[in-house]
Amino acid sequence: MECPHLSSNISGAFDSSRFPNGTPSSWCCNVCRSNKSPWICLTCLMVHCGRYVNGHAKKHFEENQVLCVSQRKGEKHEKEKIHHSVCMDCSSYSVFCYRCDEFVVNDTKLGQVQKLREHLQSLRNLGNTCFMNAILQSLSNIEQFSCYFKELPAVALRSGKTAGRRMYHTRSQGDNSVSLVEEFRKTLCSLWQGNQTAFSPDSLFYAIWKIMPSFRGYQQQDAHEFMRYLLDHLHRELQYSRNGASHPVSPQDGVRLSSTDGKCCTNGTASVVTSIFGGILQNEVNCLICGTESRKFDPFLDLSLDIPSQFRQKRNKDQEPVPTCTLRDCLHSFTDLEELDDTELYYCHKCKKRQKSTKKFWIQKLPKVLCLHLKRFHWTAFLRNKVDTYVEFPLKGLDMRGYLLEPEKSLPGSCLYDLVAVVVHHGSGVGSGHYTAYGSHEGHWYHFNDSTVTLTNEDTVRKAKAYILFYVERTGQVPSDTKKHV
């Protein structure tokens, strides 16, 4: 939420000599000396423990509330009242207001909250934000995508278009016009600078809080859902900045196919997001009674693949082991002819009623970057379970030719993809566990675990239980659509 108490509760200057020694996450409570969950008061810079330890941060606020009341009654110093209600988590750098009883997402006009974060902070986990870090690290390894954003501000200023400049200078206009594109750009620029100190994506995180309310808070979120929201909002902002529109896009705005240029786009206008990740599916439905065929084109930014049920079953020690599931098994399951069950009866316009039917997907247009999401989470009667099956996937030469609607029209070798990033979920449930990522950069594989980055090898990547796979088309050329946008 946007807190109205920041300006009256934040100290005017942050004197380094007033901070304790050591890293902020190791600071101790001034009362009980506990180093668990330290919070710093942004008024007096005193450190206290959180409510789930001994609650001294909240007691500090309550004690100052009583002091303010006595001042108003006895001496009538209304203008001097201080509440000490705003504090910052010394580990995640999130800000909380006790008067609002909510986490804070805004800043003062002077940007004092951000200045304190930069002073204290040393990509790090801001709570349960590993889902975000894994996606950011993966996207940063997609060169043609990340390079576009890294070069974007200079290009926007050279273009002479006021719409572009307006989009990148919105912070002074108020929090409602925060630019997700700008925060995303700054994050990508920081990830591969080679600094030994971890970069904290807190500005991007708080921009996401403003624009995507469902991701507010510090509970664990689904990395795939976050990726879809992020790409969608980046696409919308880029699209509307080029069109000169200053108003936000409604969440109800859908993605549709432009019949004029065959691109996957929103409202008929492509962006770098759809130019790189956008593909097109052909959905064929056949009525089993009269044989009427219905075809529909569906744009996609990623493909969500089921892990076939025959690979999910656990065998006893006396039984034969389950055969290894491969990525091809998942792709075949996605594109195979399927008879729709009774809950999905197709309305046949010739029969004039719902009839039993079959469905089949074909890929009409492959994207430059093929994002494959393995559906590891599924609902049972009362909870969401995880499919922990290992899926074997190639690091080089994934051939998508066999899934095309018209493979004969594709050039030889044009449907080959090489792996560039993998997101992995560790744990048993979508609301718990931990996300990490593997990424290929300049011929080497790295493992990204929040602020820890380690060199790894191809064998380790192959053994990962992938959740999201990012494949790049085997071509050294920059897409023509991307060149046009740059």
Query: Active-site positions?
Result: 130, 434
**What residues does 404 pair with on adjacent strands?**
363
Q: Which two tokens stand for residue 288?
A: 């089993």
Q: Got the DSSP string for 366-395?
A: --SEEEEEEE-EEE-SSSEEE----EE--S
Helices marked H in 212-359: 223-243, 272-277, 327-335
Q: How far apart are CA 216 and CA 36, in angstroms?
A: 23
Task: Evaluate whether 43 touches 62 at the Cβ level (below 8 Å).
Answer: no
Task: Evaluate whether 6 touches 108 at the Cβ level (below 8 Å).
Answer: yes
**What residues does 43 pair with on adjacent strands?**
none
Burial track 36-69 (b if 16+ CB lie within 10 A, e otherwise):
ebbbbbbbeebbbbbeebbbbbbebbeebbeebe
What's the one-letter identity of residue 461?
V
Q: How far apart are CA 254 and CA 463, in angstroms?
A: 37
Q: How far apart are CA 171 and CA 149, in angstroms?
A: 18
Coil, strand or helix: which one is 108? coil
First to last CA, the chain: 36
For the purposes of burial, counting CB atoms within 10 Å of the CB of 468, is it exposed (0-12), middle (13-18) or buried (19 or more)?
buried
Q: Which two tokens stand for residue 476?
A: 């050294």
